[in-house]
A = this chain, B = another copy of it.
């Protein structure tokens, strides 16, 4: 009885420990069950289209419907007649055929000639890229065109340093071996050789008068569409490029080029004439039946 009496506090203590532990553990499990729904960056907006699974998309829904309204700002815009120009049917068919033939000759070319390219052509292809539609007509793109040899070389150093680390330490053996077959490695000579480097930044938000931030809906899709127009304009002018997305270099290149924090590097395109001995992989494109479904 004396033993029992002296054990009671210990027994009660142990029981309490077990009970509280169980209670707290069940709380923790509830938290864990909620975790997969937890999104650190997006507010609760139950109506967003989860199907797209893109944060750019999700942010967009806040203040716009699905159309990319081309609005200049807050005030109501006048609506003016659209000046249509129509081609006769046979001309239209021929034009569509010719444009396809021209674009189908485009290839990603990594071997560029150092020959100078008229600046006027560069201006025109960037102007063309700037005609792309964009979410709420925000035009969320900045094209940094680099021809200064020293800046080009600095860019090369940043890209190659990161790429070498990628190859040597970050990528698996299979990855590196896959890339060897494609004759790709971390040496990017074209970054010095090309007369122009075009670094395409997406503006993730805008800054209006007073310093307030303005959402740039669908900025990544908009800038990518604009890049499509840029590629078309380059091909139309007889210039070549390769669409690259340098790995891990965005922040360094942004600082190097003095771009503000709302701009993120999306793509880097070396631009010039092809080298006389340029080669490309002998690949084909999917036929129309593989990419188009008609209903």
Residue of B21, B99, B178, B245 near A24 (CB, 8 A) is: B21
Query: Is there an interface contact between B124 and A96, defined as CB atoms closer than 8 Å?
Result: yes
Query: Is there an interface contact between A175 and B63, defined as CB atoms closer than 8 Å?
Result: yes
Residue of B60, B71, B118 near A281 (CB, 8 A) is: B71
- Smallest Cβ-Cβ distance to A41: which chain B residue: B53
Query: Is there an interface contact between B182 and A69, defined as CB atoms closer than 8 Å?
Result: yes
Query: Is there an interface contact between A148 and B54, defined as CB atoms closer than 8 Å?
Result: no
Query: Is there an interface contact between A87 and B237, defined as CB atoms closer than 8 Å?
Result: yes
> Could you jot down 15 A-B contacts, CB within 8 Å?
A9-B12, A16-B17, A47-B170, A54-B56, A61-B247, A74-B181, A80-B279, A81-B279, A83-B105, A95-B236, A95-B238, A97-B124, A106-B131, A129-B291, A225-B225
Contact of A51 with B251 at beta-carbon distance under 8 Å, contacts A175-B63, A229-B103 already known: yes
**Residues of chain B lying within 8 A (CB to CB) of residue A95:** 236-238
Contact of A67 with B244 at beta-carbon distance under 8 Å, contacts A96-B121, A220-B220 already known: yes
Secondary structure class of chain A's binding surface, majority of residues: mixed
Contact string, A63-97, partner B, CB cutoff 8 A, digits 1/0?
11111111110111111111111110100110111
Query: Is there an interface contact between B13 and A9, defined as CB atoms closer than 8 Å?
Result: yes
Query: Is there an interface contact between B128 and A99, defined as CB atoms closer than 8 Å?
Result: yes
**Residues of chain B lying within 8 A (CB to CB) of residue A165:** 47
Query: Is there an interface contact between B69 and A126, defined as CB atoms closer than 8 Å?
Result: no
Please report which residues of chain A, range 212-232, place their CB below 8 angstroms from some CB of chain B when the two chains form the complex. Answer: 218, 220-221, 224-232
Minimal beta-carbon separation of A26 from chain B (angstroms): 11
**Residues of chain B lying within 8 A (CB to CB) of residue A96:** 120-121, 124-125, 128, 233, 236-237
- Smallest Cβ-Cβ distance to A202: which chain B residue: B52
**Residues of chain B lying within 8 A (CB to CB) of residue A280:** 70, 79-80, 82
Complex-state Cα separation, A8 to B6, whole angstroms: 10
Please report which residues of chain A, range 12-38, place their CB below 8 angstroms from some CB of chain B when the two chains form the complex. Answer: 12-17, 20-21, 24, 28, 31, 35-36, 38
Residue of A8, A130, A265 ringed by the most chain B CB atoms within 10 A: A130
Contact string, A136-167, partner B, CB cutoff 8 A, digits 1/0?
01010111111110010000000100010111
Minimal beta-carbon separation of A147 from chain B (angstroms): 7
A207 within 8 A of B: no
A114 within 8 A of B: no
Query: Is there an interface contact between B244 and A68, defined as CB atoms closer than 8 Å?
Result: yes
Query: Is there an interface contact between A131 and B110, defined as CB atoms closer than 8 Å?
Result: no
Which 4 A-B residue pairings sit nearest by Cβ, starting from the closest? A228-B228, A224-B224, A51-B250, A96-B124
Complex-state Cα separation, A83 to B240, whole angstroms: 11
With A70-B108, A80-B282 already in contact, 18 other A-B pairs whose C-beta atoms are closer than 8 Å: A8-B9, A9-B9, A20-B21, A47-B247, A49-B249, A57-B245, A63-B175, A66-B247, A67-B108, A82-B107, A92-B121, A93-B121, A133-B231, A139-B286, A142-B292, A225-B225, A228-B231, A257-B293
